Amino acid sequence: MSGSSSCIGRLTLGAALGAALLCTTPAAAQVAVIVNGDPITVYDIEQRGRLMRLTGDRNVGRQQIVEELINDRLKLSDAKRYKLEVGDKEVDNAFASLARNARTTPENFARSLSGQGVDPNTLKARLRADIAWGQIIRGKFQSSLQINEKELFNALETRNPEGKDVGYEYTLVPILFVATRGASQSVIEERKREAELLRTRFQNCETGIPFARALRDVAVRDTIRRNSADLSPQLRAILDRVEIGRLTAPEVTPGGVEVFALCNRKETTADTPAKRALREQIFSERFKTHAERYLKELRKAAMIEFRE
């Protein structure tokens, strides 16, 4: 026989039609694994592999890729069991956050992925599983994930018995030298010069803020307070170098050129960078322990069928 007849053979009509469909199915759409009734295709494996290599795991093998996809299916299957739905908006927001971290827009980020052979939906599928899993673990092990102040204090004492753990609360007033979106570089440079001129004249917040308000095309925004634990080490270093009552260096923003008046800086032990970092570390370790143990339980109870 030739063509489809060689593939179908002497099957009944219904079976023959089903076999014909299988024979003409592209390899990429073939099912490789079924996890609790949810298929993983050859295309899924190929795409996840490209994504993993793109994000740094260049020597990843096929079995590792398949295992990660199986875990994702188990996470989403468990989410369904708990009637937990991760909406497209949540996934899109997480995707946009990654784009911001890469200093680009979601559209350009998606185009960049596509240009490197990765369907953006492959990343979104992984984000959906991660979001669902985070909600499951936090909900299921909520009490044991909590970290009280006493154990945090003891952990800090153990790690740094002689060090003084303090943070700072900064009182800041944002001052924006307005420039329209898309303004020319010459306009931006002129606004930067005006901001630098204000820096030389700005001696304290009591007289400097009213002076700034009187300047043309300058917006003085509401006072804000930030704890050093909320800021990156780079931002903390910048603010710690600025004298109280003076301005930070000009920075170009979408709205123009912005400086911050540092009106106060006071010590605080309520929440410090060291305490925040330790709290996050302890939480991460506990989360990982619970997540790994629970995932093993799910795998033991799962129906996993390999088709290849």
For residue 174, the domain's CATH number is 3.10.50.40
Q: Is 50 exceeded by the pLDDT of residue 13?
A: no
Q: Convert the pLDDT of each residue in 119-159 to its tens digit.
A: 999 999 999 999 999 999 999 999 999 888 787 777 776 76
Say which residues have a Cβ less than 8 Å from residue 293's Cβ, sequence separation at least 6.
Answer: none
pLDDT at 81: 93
Is 127 in the same domain as 69?
yes
- Determine, yes or no, domain membership for 188: yes
CATH code: domain of residue 296: 1.10.4030.10
Contact 168, 265 (CB under 8 A): yes
Q: Convert the pLDDT of each residue in 52-66 to its tens digit.
A: 999 888 889 999 999
- Determine, yes or no, domain membership for 1: no
Is 187 in the same domain as 134?
no
Residues of the chain with pLDDT > 70, as a percent, come to 87
Record the pTM: 0.64
Is 231 in the same domain as 300?
no
- Determine, yes or no, domain membership for 88: yes
Is 52 in the same domain as 107?
yes
- State which residues form the domain around 301: 32-142+289-306
Q: Over range 161-181, report the average pLDDT.
A: 83
Is 134 in the same domain as 68?
yes
Q: Convert the pLDDT of each residue in 232-252 to its tens digit.
A: 888 888 998 999 999 999 999
Which stretches of the chain are assigned E, i.e. beta strand?
Answer: 31-35, 38-41, 167-178, 218-220, 224-227, 251-253, 256-268, 304-306
Contact 237, 192 (CB under 8 A): no
The token duo for 256 is: 């123009």
- Determine, yes or no, domain membership for 58: yes
Is 37 in the same domain as 133?
yes
Q: How many domains does the chain have?
A: 2
Is 121 in the same domain as 177?
no
- Determine, yes or no, domain membership for 192: yes
Output b/e per residue, 209-240; b: 16+ Cβ within 10 A: beebeeeeebebeeeeebbbbebeeeebebbe
- Determine, yes or no, domain membership for 229: yes
- Determine, yes or no, domain membership for 194: yes
CB burial of residue 302 (10 Å; 0-12, 13-18, 19+): middle
Q: Which of 24-28, 105-109, 245-249, 264-268 has the lowest mean pLDDT?
A: 24-28
Is 68 in the same domain as 131?
yes
- Determine, yes or no, domain membership for 51: yes
Is 252 in the same domain as 185?
yes
Is 235 in the same domain as 293?
no
Contact 91, 131 (CB under 8 A): yes
